[in-house]
Structure 1
């Protein structure tokens, strides 16, 4: 018997249907969006977006699955992915015939759908967010984008998200409160003022949007009632009648029961995904704001733990129905079609008390029962988290889905407060997407997830006097070529000069992306549910959120540190070979007998990050501090426009970017061959961490963690056999407490699967259809990943305890 019990029969049937469903491309949203943009081309942006959402919600296909007790679908069939033409259409048309031929993240598409998309494509020619974003980039910065040194494609080919809206207030007051507040603000405006005139469009857009969401819920209410009349099973008939009643009420009115609360959250979460296909749209602290409804219904006897658990598993199954298709070049950075829809449990209350409650346990149980890659489950750790709850968390970890991830209150809360976040808000943070963190309902977009900067490639360009090693393009002024350097100080001076210039170009690219997002794709519902957009009359991109901090993402941190350590020790201290000899070996990818000997020295002689060696660990910190110092000088486009912050911090949540960014990176001084994957997150390079998990934790703790508020993503891997032993489970809890309490670790998550199982699954995918792995800050089904990403996961170090 599973420790957490089994899904109810109908939820098991629902799950099987979803697993078996072929991901398809759905053209409905694209067609309805095009029609609306054509009809409202003359309207101000906010109104155009509201009319677009209204048209979609009024005319898209809706259905209620026979197994489900909550309603709402994103596309014409479950697991199908809508197309969002206003963001980008060029790659859609270019790749129409390749969707089914992909190495991973395959999507099926009919000829009819292809023809529909081709028909609307001319309207979007040079008329998308991507077109405007690329045109906005200055030539010298765009060169970094074109060469793949700075990657920001996802920022101009899809929506932003990386956010959790104010679901707590939604449940307490309903959308009618949003409507009332907006109407009052609109009525009070003096429209002779230019800024107020702009605000009036926003308030009018909110009113259109709220009515559209209400009508969307009403469509489902009517459908449920129609199905109820035709239903012969009395129990199902009663459920459909109940669904109809609930949908006539929420999300417009406040929720009063647990079922109403879940339905309200789901429908709004769904509409936010339809409004904008930005990923990392998260639920926030679900165990906190749902608990009063759960507790009340239990006391009234209107639900049981079993029925509440079924409702939650239904929510997770519906969450899994949402899908997103990306261009192939973007897919390689987000392998496994992740949506990063995060649910956060545990942590502390705003009164600094342990926040774990009975619903926290029930959410653990429900996620364990569904055993899916969505939602992305995060547990907030703090010193007062008791062993009983920790033990339940480890039981979920043992299932091998890569969940839950752990984020540490002891480092994150002080980091927020230091940046100006009010203490009560800092204690109310949640995980957003992967490992990023923000205050739900009060934080702007992209708390993490702006552009990706390739650290190892940046180092190689620094050693090549500012010249890109692949294209030969001179990117910026360097400090001379490595072959002429006579000390390690010169290497660090070259890194300092280059990384500061590269950071500046990252910010320029980010600014271009944010500027066109603000001008082209306002998200009305998301802004209305984020404080203080209504009060200020501004969308999130205009500065409506209370807090607005963002981060770029740095890729290949371990390779950078190991490379610097190898250069310092092998070239300048031990003098095993000259700078010229090392450079020649790197350029030729370690081909030839002499170069292979050099490669072996690079791999075996210097200390490696992940083994608690100050020699290399402090070099990483030194190099990273230079980047962080430069980053601190810059602001985002909302700076000075209302939000607290408007500044940058660092982040290591590189998702699967380590694989494609490795492909475009030459051999590096850590002994890595050209095109091999880079290390992911802040994890050590594969096979280099030889001293066990404690040493890994101690190395990671030497990073400037308090400054990497965008997330310090650490993946660890162990085998099921190790965690089968109770004494090892106890050891793991003790290890986690040490990492978080004493070493001030930010985050950790576990893959619990053996190398043998992964290799077997790669050979026989049909026999391992349910195998889930942690890719980066998210989980995915192993058999939908590209072989290159699969190989990267297989090669990760297996830790013992």
Structure 2
């Protein structure tokens, strides 16, 4: 790492995450100024106003221009999505000291925020949804059967068409939109054509505003160049100014220009809306031609190339969004899911790795940031040296990159209806959800979570929630009368499908409101089909559309079913009535029976064929039920096995479960076995997860595994990790990520966070600084099974 990058990194890491009031203030002014305009132009003028008036910040040593906030590391406030940001009124004074994702905010900023929020009372899309959502949906969510997503977040989660956006600047797109407008007026106007014209006009507004924003950054760089006494820095600032007067208006020609071009487009997405999951897609594939050309011309060397990649990574790590206490715990660690994909297949099925693949890995190794998470698209053609480098990074405790099976991902995209070309160019949306790449699809990973253990609890109580007393489920029969486990599973699946229908009803309502009130005009530039159809992403403009939602706690549910079968129907150690009563009493006074259920009943994650297949069938059937439902844009739902850290708050809704889990404690995380229950070793654990038939589920599954650093030390240890990862990916697995850190180190970090602030862990499909996590989330990571080898 160069001295410049070491200083920039240290400056960013030493500051506490903060709240910026700038966008809130500017958006509030703009909403008052442009009220009454057609929605597309209205939203375009909001972004234009913010870009034209926000403060330009250039920090010493930076090589890339454009910042989302005036602070080094801060989140923006988007009141139009959630004056459920009204929670800020109550939580704002405690934000600097709250347990999860604490953020600094000055007294002056607090005053500005509170004054602005008064205007937004009952004006956000969340307010509209809360006022119109049926009570039976609200009751089911109150019980904890599911948590519908997207109410405070944009539904836009995209991977842009890098080929088009790097090949053509915004000026080309502006001219294209103007041509479409002119052609529309050549024939009699219709309502549909008028709406398209308004949309194209709005695109011109936001692209011109982005060009002006780039030029304002160039002007500030020129000003600083005049003031500095450092000749080398003056040359850098003038070059940065030149670049920003060129991109993104016109296409880049050099590697530096290409990186700046991407970043300027990227950061404006995060200013337009409460953006997340803006993917860097195949960074090594799309940017390598620019690096190679510069290298051959003698304009750049490897060190400078890595420095520019590190500058981009640092910029991305500065972005996050602000969440209330629930979502701060559910998505702990300030994730934004901005993945950088590396490797994989080319369009013709050959290996796509190049020099940038290794350089990006080296940059991540040096920087050790929580963003962007790296995705290594692994297949049998992936070069040995790339796999070795990635494995050693994991072995050393970086928790980066995650391995994704290229072949499994390709099957998922093909099953979604994509072509082989689209499938080989696949990318993620959100943290691990699979979709066709290069601007072909809107993935909208905001559907929320179906709480599988809670639905199992409701099945045990014939549709009634024992915690709230609400009758929220179906009357599937008193389980005390069930004669075998098959009858119980049949009732359970009926309840799952019933709540899945409720779940999608709620998500469709949320996305419909957002499409009407908060179309993401700027985002829609980057997906193919939107400009051609004259529609935003939310209105169904993209070529392919999927809404991802997630089946949470499958291992807890599976272990509970196994425990019922084992204790009630096989060994007859308990009657169903006794087991239900034990759970209702939270095993109070009967710890021996709880230990019996934990230690004697077989558990998912130990490569037991019959049990693994049972869970795979339940998951596949539920996923197919979701896939048959149409989302509000005409796309399809796709379901995956994932929780983020929602397994902590979702667990708080659940009483004790038959597997021996205590009431209100976390449920299993993602597709992984329940913490501490996969006792047959890492290979057995991975084999169980790989049997999930993920290619049929259309979304994704997320698998966390953890190793004791002493058990995987040295060359042999690296080979053990590599062997497990290869075996998993080549035998039907999809995603696998590892933490290599011992409990002693993590416990020390809990007690002395300042001296351990650079520990990065895989929380879910993202990375986070361990010491910035809530203690309950930290403990779930500590509680994960730690495999010696």
The answer to whether the superposition gives a TM-score over 0.5 is yes
Per-residue CA distance 1:752-800 (angstroms, 9 max, x = gap): 1111111111111122011111111111011110000001001111113
Q: Does residue 1:238 correspond to 2:235, yes or no?
A: yes
Matched, 1:622 2:620: no
For residue 532 of structure 1, report the CA deviation from its aligned partner.
0.9
- 1:51 is matched with 45
Matches for 1:267-416 after TM superposition, within 5 Å: 267-416=264-413
1:72, CA displacement in angstroms? 1.1
2:719 corresponds, among 727, 730, 733, to: 730
- Counting only pairs closer than 5 Å after superposition, residues 429-578 of structure 1 correspond to structure 2 as 429-578=426-575
Partner in structure 2 of residue 609 of structure 1: 604
Q: In terms of mean alpha carbon deviation, does 443-452 or 253-262 score higher?
A: 443-452
Q: Which residue of 1 aligns with 2:60?
A: 66
C-alpha distance after superposition, 1:559-587 (max 9, x if no partner): 01100000011101110010111111100
Q: CA–CA distance in 2 between the matches of 1:715 and 1:781?
A: 17
Alpha-carbon displacement from aligned partner over 1:610-658 (angstroms, at most 9, x marks no partner): 100123212212322331232232111121xxxxxx1122212311101
For the 8 Å contact 1:47–1:205, the answer to whether it is kept is yes
Structure 2 residue aligned with 1:254: 251
**Pairing 1:116-265 to 2, within 5 Å after superposition:** 116-153=112-149, 155-189=150-184, 190=187, 192-265=189-262
Residue in structure 1 matched with residue 729 of structure 2 by the alignment: 740
Following superposition, the deviation at residue 136 of structure 1 comes to: 3.3
Deviation of 1:530 (Å): 0.8
* Aligned-partner SS, 2:577: helix
Cα deviation digits, residues 299-348 of structure 1 (max 9, x gap) = 00000000111111111111111121111111111001111111000000
Question: Do the aligned residues in 2 keep the contact of 1:33 with 1:55 (CA within 8 Å)?
Answer: yes
Q: Distance in 2 between matches of 1:437 and 1:415?
A: 7
SS at the partner of 1:496? helix
Residue of structure 1 aligned with 2:691, choices 692, 697, 702:
702
Shift of 1:441: 4.1
User: Mean Cα displacement is larger for which, 224-233 or 390-399?
Assistant: 390-399
Q: Secondary structure at the match of 2:126?
A: helix
How many angstroms does 1:228 deviate by? 0.4
Tell me the CA shift for residue 663 of structure 1.
1.4
Alignment partner of 2:387: what SS?
A: helix
In the alignment, which residue of structure 2 is the partner of 1:81? 75
Q: Deviations over 1:39-59 (max 9, x none)?
A: 111011111111000100011
- After TM superposition, list the pairs within 5 Å mapping 1:655-734 onto structure 2: 655-734=644-723
How many angstroms apart in 2 are the aligned matches of 1:266 and 1:529? 14
- Separation of aligned partners in 2, 1:211 and 1:660: 43
SS at match of 2:480: helix
User: How far apart, CA to CA, are the structure 2 residues paired with 1:734 and 1:146?
Assistant: 44
- Report the CA distance between 1:221 and its aligned residue: 0.4
CA distance in 1, matches of 2:415, 2:443: 20
Asked whether the 8 Å contact 1:26–1:75 carries over to 2, the reply is yes
Once residues 337 and 578 of structure 1 are traced to their aligned partners in structure 2, the CA distance between those partners, rounded to angstroms, is 45
Does the alignment pair 1:26 with 2:20?
Answer: yes
State the 1:475 CA deviation: 0.8
Structure 2 Cα separation of the partners of residues 309 and 628 of structure 1: 42
- Shift in alpha-carbon separation, 1:45–1:688, aligned structure 2, 3 A: same
Report the Cα offset of residue 447 of structure 1: 4.5
Match 1:787 to one of 756, 769, 775: 775
CA distance in 1, matches of 2:278, 2:412: 23
Partner of 2:591: 596
Deviations 1:83-137 (A, max 9, x none): 1111112222232122123112001112211221222223211110111122232
- Map of 1:110 onto structure 2: 106
TM-score normalised by L of structure 2: 0.98
> How many residue pairs end up in the alignment?
785
| Corresponding residue of 1:17 | 11
Unmatched tracts of structure 2, length 5 or more: none
The 3 A distance-change label for structure 1 pair 493 and 653 is closer
How far off its partner does 1:149 sit? 2.4
Task: Quote the offset at 1:167 in angstroms.
Answer: 2.6
| Contact 2:415–2:695 (8 Å) recurs in 1 | no
Q: Answer yes or no: is the 8 Å Cα contact 2:161–2:440 preserved in 1.
A: no
Deviates more, 1:169-178 or 1:453-462: 169-178
2:158–2:439 CA contact under 8 A, matched in 1: no
Deviation at 1:166, TM superposition (A): 1.8
**CA–CA distance in 1 between the matches of 2:428 and 2:259?**
19
CA distance in 2, matches of 1:731, 1:329: 38
Instruction: Provide the rounded CA distance (Å) in 1 between the counterparts of 2:770 and 2:728.
Output: 29
Q: Distance in 2 between matches of 1:191 and 1:675?
A: 63
1:343, 1:431 within 8 Å by CA — same for their partners in 2? no
Partners in 2 of 1:557 and 1:523 — Cα distance? 34
- Which residue pairs with 2:93 in the alignment? 97
Deviations 1:441-466 (A, max 9, x none): 43444453312111000100011111
C-alpha contact (below 8 Å) 2:529/2:541 kept by paired residues: yes
Report the CA distance between 1:493 and its aligned residue: 2.0
* Aligned equivalent of 1:422, options 419, 422, 435: 419
Secondary structure of the corresponding residue to residue 437 of structure 1: strand
Given the alignment of the two structures, is residue 654 of structure 1 paired with residue 680 of structure 2, yes or no? no
Q: Distance in 1 between matches of 2:625 and 2:327?
A: 27
- The runs of 5 or more residues in structure 1 that have no matched partner are 1-6, 640-645
CA deviation profile, 1:149-193 (whole Å, cap 9, x unmatched)? 22135x011212332112332211111122121111111114621
Distance 1:71 1:702 in 2: 46
Q: Which range is displaced more, 425-434 or 59-68?
A: 425-434
State the distance in 1 between where 2:200 and 2:711 align.
Answer: 57
What is the distance in 2 between the residues matched to 1:147 and 1:58?
46
In 2, Cα distance between equivalents of 1:398 and 1:490: 46
**Separation (CA, whole Å) in 1 of partners of 2:474 and 2:708:** 48
Q: Is the 8 A contact 1:163 1:443 kept in 2?
A: no
- Which one is further off, 42-51 or 142-151? 142-151
